[in-house]
């Protein structure tokens, strides 16, 4: 794992290594800087959201999911040799901040493994996504967010992270890889663009804040408060007649956040 000053710096390093003309990167929906760094390398960024994810009137629990059938058809059409990696963004920010289910992450991994393609997570809001899994997905209500996060990352071969989101800091990010050859290439690029691998262009204070934030963000009381606060705002806007894209009919008791409206991920 190497630190960077922002998530986009991690993306820049990653796609400088694996991108290039003729390469294609599928995702549930690419975040804007991810797409920009892919396309700047000469590669193509392709979004494969589900039909649920692009229907603003539909109420569903996991509208951020990858379209598994479309992913396999896409791999067969363009060739696995032209796909250096597949990404899942959790939560799916370009899709409205919608969560991705654990089942979908698992199925995506199975497809990637079948064709020998590494799976990467764009994990800037990983804790938020894990909390929605706990609330909404069968079999996870008794799991801790930390346990859910551990399983999520267990399916990944690499991670890009903007720490300004779910590490709750002002600055920072990182690139994590389980491929030693790729990591060596990343470290060499890091020195050119960010700094040495011990600090990645960040002050020691920022590194310590990231480490602390990654621990604190797994506090379920904090996640409950954060998500419930936004749901509360959304409910007030809806009651006042202000239209909100991808709203849900669900409501939450202020003291107990058992079900969260799907539009109010952020």
For residue 49, the SS3 value is: strand
What pLDDT does 264 receive?
35
> pTM for this one?
0.87
What pLDDT does 166 receive?
93
| Domains (range + CATH), the chain | 2-218 (3.40.640.10)
Strand boundaries in 28-179, DSSP class E: 44-47, 86-89, 119-122, 158-162, 173-177
The more confidently predicted of residues 103 and 94 is 103
Q: Do residues 19 and 189 make contact, with C-beta atoms less than 8 angstroms apart? A: no
- Per-residue pLDDT for 257 more than 90? no
Instruction: List pLDDT tens digits, range 16-40.
Output: 999 999 999 999 999 999 999 999 9
Sign of torsion over alpha carbons 89, 212, 204, 151:
negative
What pLDDT does 138 receive?
96
What pLDDT does 96 receive?
82
Instruction: List pLDDT tens digits, range 171-186.
Output: 999 999 999 999 999 9
Quote the distance between the C-alpha of residue 42 and its chain's center.
Answer: 23
For residue 191, the SS3 value is: helix
- Per-residue pLDDT for 97 more than 90? no
Mean local confidence (pLDDT), 4-23 = 96
- Per-residue pLDDT for 246 more than 70? no
- Per-residue pLDDT for 150 more than 50? yes
Say which DSSP state 198 is in: T
Instruction: List pLDDT tens digits, range 189-236.
Output: 999 989 999 999 999 999 999 999 999 999 999 999 999 998 899 899
Mean pLDDT score of the chain, rounded to an integer?
90
Q: Do residues 61 and 137 make contact, with C-beta atoms less than 8 angstroms apart? A: yes
Instruction: List pLDDT tens digits, range 39-71.
Output: 999 999 999 999 998 887 788 899 999 999 999
The more confidently predicted of residues 175 and 245 is 175
């Amino acid at each position: 794992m190497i630190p960077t000053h922002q998530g986009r710096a991690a993306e820049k390093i990653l796609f400088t290594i694996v991108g290039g003309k003729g390469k294609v990167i599928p995702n549930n929906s690419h975040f804007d800087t991810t797409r920009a760094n892919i396309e700047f390398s000469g590669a193509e960024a392709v979004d494969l959201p589900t039909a649920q994810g692009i229907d603003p009137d539909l109420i569903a629990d996991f509208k951020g999911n990858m379209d598994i059938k479309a992913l396999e058809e896409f791999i067969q059409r363009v060739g696995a040799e032209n796909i250096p990696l597949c990404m899942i963004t959790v939560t799916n920010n370009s899709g409205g901040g919608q969560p991705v289910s654990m089942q979908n992450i698992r199925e995506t991994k199975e497809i990637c493994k079948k064709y020998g393609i590494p799976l990467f997570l764009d994990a800037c809001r990983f804790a938020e996504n894990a909390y929605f899994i706990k609330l909404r997905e069968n079999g996870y209500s008794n799991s801790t967010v930390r346990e859910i996060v551990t399983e999520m990352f267990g399916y990944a071969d690499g991670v890009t992270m903007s720490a300004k989101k779910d590490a709750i800091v002002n600055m920072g990010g990182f690139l994590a890889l389980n491929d030693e050859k790729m990591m060596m290439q990343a470290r060499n690029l890091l020195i050119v663009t960010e700094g040495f691998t011990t600090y990645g262009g960040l002050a020691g204070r920022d590194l310590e804040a990231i480490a602390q934030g990654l621990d604190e963000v797994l506090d379920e009381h904090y996640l409950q408060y954060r998500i419930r606060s936004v749901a509360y705002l959304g409910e007030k806007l809806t009651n006042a007649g202000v239209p909100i894209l991808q709203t849900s009919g669900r409501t939450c008791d202020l003291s107990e956040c058992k079900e969260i409206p799907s539009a109010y991920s952020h």
